Structure 1
Amino acid sequence: MKTIEDFTQPYGLVDKIDAFGYLEYLRNNPDAPRKAGKVVLVTADTPLKASRGEGKTTTTIALIDALRARGIDAAAVLRQPSMGITAAGSKGGASGGGKASLTHPELVDWGLCGEMSAIEAAQNLLVSFAEKAIDEGKLDDVLVPRVSEVPSRSLRKTIVDAGKNNVAERVVLTPTCELMQIVVLSRSMDELAERVGNMTAGTKDGRGVKFNEFVELWRITNILTDAVKPAKTQTKAGSPVYVHGGPFANVSLGIPTLVSVEMATALHDVVVVEAGYGADAGAQKWLDIACREFGAQWPSAAVVVTRATTWRDDPTLQWRYPFHVNRLESMNIPTFPLINLWEGEDDLVDSLKSTAASLGFREPVLGNLFRDGGDALVSQLDAFVDTVQAADIPAAPESHRGMALRDNIEWVSKHAYGVPSERVIDRDGFEDSLNNARELCATVDVNLDDLALVAVKSPATMTDNDSLPEDQRSVTLKKVEPHTGAGVVQVNLTTSLTTPMPKIV
């Protein structure tokens, strides 16, 4: 019998695991040893600012350290962050902080696990093939954007001077691109290659043209050989952590790869999965895309992280945290509020517990995890551990495949943002964008309504204006962009950018 070590190789200071190969081995060898680990989802309150995190990664690391201190075989699956944003100081990294940190945080924060640069190179090569196809008369335009790990306002929209064949182009950050979505969702190299081939490169005489019509796909898949392998590292306390997949749950999937989580559940009893930004973004996408549409495991429990300042300092926004907790509970996911204290906030514990009790929350978990790490949580997890150990592995709910896209948008607006259908507003041009997307998909034999909905939105807001009273909040629809290879359709809501700029630090 083989073990996971047979599929693991050193990659600098971390290991890389052939998760595709390991999971195929398990499928072909049903008697091979494996566990049936349960997934716990860590998500967060909607942050007050796009550049400010609530502490999901710090919490995730502290949580698995605490669980292992209690004798539970726990591991975490984190997302590989965008170096261009993290290194520029615009957002915290994906490596925790203080005592709740990884052993080599720089490897994660600076993209040295390799997947970002490989995905960037592969999608840019696809765009180069598409540009050459214009020269050869196979395409009239290019629909796939170039990608970069370094943000630049000038790259959001450009015109390439190619004589009589001038080509409009744009550049998005690597985590937001379709190829990153394909890596996150694929469970084998064959599936990945098929999805890349089904990407719509551009149009010819109004008809969509896929890359498999003019590109030898091995050129792309070879670049991704190591990028599709999760990296294995550990916390400072020695707990196992797998890192794989893209951030940016506001403008893309923002979840770890499905294979990294499936692999981890075969190796450990409890797998803590981190999803990007707030529960309206990363958790919504883990539940409604990864689980509902692509068969990922539905969580046996959830932890919703907030900072005391996010939850209580702005009275007009205090509704958001209870909304998130109650929404997950309404989906039969036992949900535990966790309040990530900062220095000087220890004296707030009693008042925070009192507020949580008045809202009907489960007993909240509180601690300065940067300072104390998992030690802050060990004695507070009795109810959490009892719940996770008693829970079954839930079945994912029914797919929305085939639901009219407009109905799907309104369903997400109601359930994830608290906005009913009568206050979902079309901006000028949205209907044209929707019709154009439907017509484009039809030319490549894709039903737009069969694609999974990816809401592209501001990370710091759930609606057009979260400060309004509940009966006045709205969601505005901007444009539609199908990703036929990934099998998703992006719908832009309110304010959103796929090439955000860093703050000055």
Structure 2
Amino acid sequence: MATVEDFTSQYGLVRKIDAFGYLDYLKNNPDAPRKHGKVVLVTADTPLKASRGEGKTTTTIALIDALRKRGIDATAVLRQPSMGITAAGSKGGASGGGKASLTHPELIDWGLCGEMGAIEAAQNLLVSFAEKAIDDGKLDTVLVPRVSEVPSRSLRSVAVDYGKGDVPEKMVLTPTCELMQIVVLSRSMDEIGERVSAMIAGTLDGKPVTFGEFIDLWRITNILADAVKPALTETSKGTPVYVHGGPFANVSIGIPTLVSVELACALHDVVVVEAGYGADAGAQKWLDIASREYGAQWPSAALVVTRATTWRDDPARQWRYPFHVNRLEKLGIPTFPLVNLWDGEDDQIPALRETAAELGFREPIIGNLFRDGGDGLTGQIDDFVTALEAVGVPSNPESRKGEDIVDTVRWIAANAYGVPAERVVFKPGFEESLNAARELVAGVGRDLNDFAVCAVKSPATMTDDDAAAAEERTVTLKKVEVRAGSGIAQVNLTKSLTTPMPKIV
């Protein structure tokens, strides 16, 4: 009988696992040994600054090290970070830090596991095919953007001269692109091929044309052969960690690949999944896209990470952290507040515990995890382990596909941002964008209401103005973009920036 080792190969200093092949083997061999691990979601408070992390990855690594020390077979699934933003210094690395770090952080932070580069090459090849299709008279516009790991604002919008007049094109960051979403959501190479085939390349005489109408899909899927395999690395304490996928949580779906999580659940008892940015971004998308629409496991527990300063030093925005914790609790997910201390903040612990008690939180977990790693958690997670062991694998809530897309956005605003439906407003031009999106997908025989909704928003704010009084907060809808291959309707809200620049460090 086969084991996961039969589906594993060396890839530089890490190992890669053919998750598609292994999960298919388990499906076809129901008597093969496997586990049914529970998912724990690590998310965060909405950061005061988009360029500043709250410490989700450090917390995730410390947590699994602490669980392993207690004899629990735990692992984590992380996203591959974006080289142009994360590694260049805008928000630190994405491989933890200090005593809560991976053994080879440079491989993760600089994209050396390979999937970012392969996805970038594959989507850019698609654009090249679309440009050739213009030469051949099969298209007269290009709708799929080129991508880059290195941000350049000069390339946000460009015009290409084909000798028939300029054709507008644009460029986005690799983590935000449609092909990244396709890899994250697909459960087989055949599904990737079908989704790439359904991507809308552009239009001809106003009618949409998909890539499946004029290219051989093997050209793309061959590029992705290693990119679809999760990387297996480990923490400095030897705890296994899977790294795969890397979409941004504010302008994309912000979660690791579904197959990497399913693989980990088949091999371990507890699988900690890190969702990007705050609970209003990555966690919302794990719950409402991955779980509701794509069958990913609903979390059995959650931790919401914050910094002491974020939670307590901005009175106008203090409402956000309790909102996140209470929202997840209302969904039936046992949720634990975790305060990630920095050096010199140990004296704040009594006051933080007092505030947590006043807010009615579960017993908070507080520590300097960079300094102490998993050792800083082992004595604080009794209640967490008890809550996790008390629940089975939850069932998923119903899909919202088929509902009017604007009603779905209003529901997201009310549930994830605390803004009632009547205070969701339209920016001039939104309705025209919505109608154009409906017509575009109707041209390929589909209904926009059947797409999963992905909110594109600022990572540092939940509403148009988080400092406004509760009864005055609004959410503005700006435009709709169609991603027919991934089945995602991107709805731009409030402030959103798809090509942020790295800060100079």
TM-score bucket (shorter structure): over 0.9
Distance in 1 between residues matched to 2:53 and 2:86, nearest whole Å: 12
What secondary structure does 1:54 align onto?
Answer: coil
What secondary structure does 2:51 align onto?
Answer: coil
**2:151 matches 1:154:** no
Distance in 2 between residues matched to 1:317 and 1:421, nearest whole Å: 21
Deviation per CA, 1:375-407, whole angstroms, max 9, x where unpaired? 000011101001111111001100001010010
**Shift of the alpha carbon at 1:91?**
1.6
> 8 Å contact 2:181–2:247 — kept in the other structure?
no
Corresponding residue of 1:424: 424
Corresponding residue of 2:54: 54
Deviation per CA, 1:378-437, whole angstroms, max 9, x where unpaired? 011101001111111001100001010010000000000000111111111000000000
**2:74 matches 1:70:** no
Corresponding residue of 1:450: 450
Corresponding residue of 1:179: 179
> 8 Å contact 1:246–1:253 — kept in the other structure?
no
What secondary structure does 2:227 align onto?
Answer: coil
Corresponding residue of 1:271: 271
What secondary structure does 2:379 align onto?
Answer: helix
Corresponding residue of 1:43: 43
> 8 Å contact 1:275–1:282 — kept in the other structure?
yes
Matches within 5 A, 1:349-360: 349-360=349-360
**Shift of the alpha carbon at 1:87?**
2.2
Deviation per CA, 1:288-322, whole angstroms, max 9, x where unpaired? 00000000000000000000001111000000000
Deviation per CA, 1:17-66, whole angstroms, max 9, x where unpaired? 00000000000000000001000000000000000000000000000000
> 8 Å contact 1:19–1:230 — kept in the other structure?
yes
For 2:386, the aligned partner's letter is: D
**2:120 matches 1:120:** yes
Distance in 2 between residues matched to 1:44 and 1:446, nearest whole Å: 36
For 1:107, the aligned partner's letter is: L
Distance in 2 between residues matched to 1:117 and 1:190, nearest whole Å: 21
**Shift of the alpha carbon at 1:247?**
3.6
What secondary structure does 2:164 align onto?
Answer: helix
Deviation per CA, 1:414-461, whole angstroms, max 9, x where unpaired? 000000111111111000000000000000111100000000000000
For 1:48, the aligned partner's letter is: L
**Shift of the alpha carbon at 1:496?**
0.7
What secondary structure does 1:163 align onto?
Answer: coil
Corresponding residue of 1:387: 387
Structure 2 spans left out of the alignment, 5+ residues: none
Matches within 5 A, 1:386-405: 386-405=386-405
For 1:469, the aligned partner's letter is: A
Greater shift, 210-219 or 494-503, is seen at 494-503
**Shift of the alpha carbon at 1:93?**
1.8
Corresponding residue of 1:169: 169
Distance in 2 between residues matched to 1:176 and 1:247, nearest whole Å: 6
Distance in 2 between residues matched to 1:5 and 1:437, nearest whole Å: 45
**Shift of the alpha carbon at 1:166?**
1.8
Distance in 1 between residues matched to 2:102 and 2:182, nearest whole Å: 27
Corresponding residue of 1:10: 10
**Shift of the alpha carbon at 1:277?**
0.0
Corresponding residue of 1:502: 502
Deviation per CA, 1:139-169, whole angstroms, max 9, x where unpaired? 1100000000000010110111222242101
Greater shift, 261-270 or 381-390, is seen at 381-390
Deviation per CA, 1:260-312, whole angstroms, max 9, x where unpaired? 00000000000000000000000000000000000000000000000000111
CA RMSD of aligned residues (A): 0.6
Corresponding residue of 2:465: 465
Distance in 1 between residues matched to 2:193 and 2:93, nearest whole Å: 30
Distance in 1 between residues matched to 2:208 and 2:453, nearest whole Å: 20
Distance in 2 between residues matched to 1:404 and 1:140, nearest whole Å: 31
For 1:434, the aligned partner's letter is: L
What secondary structure does 2:142 align onto?
Answer: coil
For 1:461, the aligned partner's letter is: T
What secondary structure does 1:378 align onto?
Answer: coil
What secondary structure does 1:380 align onto?
Answer: coil
**Shift of the alpha carbon at 1:94?**
1.5
> 8 Å contact 1:134–1:165 — kept in the other structure?
no
Distance in 2 between residues matched to 1:155 and 1:313, nearest whole Å: 38
Distance in 2 between residues matched to 1:416 and 1:92, nearest whole Å: 27
Distance in 2 between residues matched to 1:247 and 1:190, nearest whole Å: 21
> 8 Å contact 2:261–2:271 — kept in the other structure?
yes
Distance in 2 between residues matched to 1:223 and 1:504, nearest whole Å: 33
**Shift of the alpha carbon at 1:206?**
1.2
Task: Tell me the TM-score normalized by structure 1.
Answer: 1.00
Corresponding residue of 1:326: 326
Matches within 5 A, 1:86-105: 86-105=86-105
**2:267 matches 1:250:** no
What secondary structure does 2:337 align onto?
Answer: strand
Greater shift, 123-132 or 153-162, is seen at 153-162
**Shift of the alpha carbon at 1:92?**
2.1
**Shift of the alpha carbon at 1:85?**
0.4
What secondary structure does 1:379 align onto?
Answer: coil
Corresponding residue of 1:284: 284
Structure 1 spans left out of the alignment, 5+ residues: none
Distance in 2 between residues matched to 1:295 and 1:57, nearest whole Å: 24
Corresponding residue of 1:193: 193
Matches within 5 A, 1:363-382: 363-382=363-382
**2:218 matches 1:218:** yes
> 8 Å contact 2:208–2:444 — kept in the other structure?
yes
For 2:176, the aligned partner's letter is: T
Deviation per CA, 1:210-239, whole angstroms, max 9, x where unpaired? 000001000000000000000000000000
> 8 Å contact 1:153–1:499 — kept in the other structure?
yes
Distance in 2 between residues matched to 1:443 and 1:38, nearest whole Å: 41
Corresponding residue of 1:231: 231
For 2:338, the aligned partner's letter is: L
What secondary structure does 1:164 align onto?
Answer: coil
What secondary structure does 2:32 align onto?
Answer: coil
**2:468 matches 1:482:** no
Deviation per CA, 1:305-350, whole angstroms, max 9, x where unpaired? 0000011110000000000000000000000000000000000000
> 8 Å contact 2:135–2:162 — kept in the other structure?
no
What secondary structure does 1:170 align onto?
Answer: strand
For 1:66, the aligned partner's letter is: A
Consecutive aligned runs of 4 or more in structure 1 exceeding 6 Å deviation: none
The size of the alignment, in residue pairs, is 505
Distance in 2 between residues matched to 1:450 and 1:66, nearest whole Å: 42
Greater shift, 386-395 or 17-26, is seen at 386-395
Matches within 5 A, 1:14-25: 14-25=14-25
